[in-house]
Amino acid sequence: MVADLIKDRSSIRRMSGEIIPEEKINILFEAAGLAASAHNAQPWQFVYVLREDDGWNQFFECVVPANQRWAKDAGMLVVVASHQEFVIGDEVEKNPYAVFDVGAAVQNMALQASELGLALCVMGGCDKRNLRVATGLSSAYDIEVMIAVGAPEFKPSGRAQRKPVKEIAFRGRV
Q: In the window 5-24, what residues touch a copy of itself (CB under 8 A)? A: 5-7, 9-11
CA–CA distances in Å: residue 16 to residues 12, 84, 95, 112, 129:
11, 36, 39, 19, 29
Q: Between 122 and 151, whose beta carbon lies closer to a copy of itself?
A: 122
Tell me the closest approach of the beta carbon of residue 154 to a copy of itself, in angstroms.
18
DSSP letter assigned to residue 39: G
First-to-last alpha carbon distance for the chain, in angstroms, is 31
35-64: contacts with a copy of itself (CB under 8 A)? 35-36, 38, 40, 42, 44-50, 53-55
d(CA 142, CA 49): 19
Q: Which x/- pattern, by CB under 8 A, does the window 99-138 give for a copy of itself?
A: xxxxxxxxxx-xxx-xx-----xx-x---------xxxxx
Q: Which of residues 72-91 bind a copy of itself (CB under 8 A)?
A: none
145 binds a copy of itself (CB under 8 A): yes
Least Å from the CB of residue 17 to a copy of itself: 19
Is residue 151 part of the contact set for a copy of itself (CB under 8 A)?
no
- Residue 173 — φ and ψ, nearest 5°? -160, 145
Is 114 in contact with 9 (CB distance < 8 Å)? yes
Separation between Cα atoms, residue 8 and residue 82, nearest integer Å? 27
Ramachandran sector of residue 172 (left: φ over 0; alpha: ψ -120 to 50; beta: rest):
left
Q: Which is nearer to a copy of itself, 73 or 123 (CB)?
A: 123
Q: Which of 64, 68, 97, 153 binds a copy of itself (CB under 8 A)?
A: 97
State in angstroms the smallest separation of the CB of 5 from a copy of itself. 6
Give the list of residues 6+ apart from residue 34 with CB closer than 8 angstroms, or none: 108
- Which of the stretches 13-21, 25-33, 61-69, 148-156 binds a copy of itself when contact is defined by CB under 8 A? 25-33
Question: How many residues form the binding site for a copy of itself (CB under 8 A)?
Answer: 72
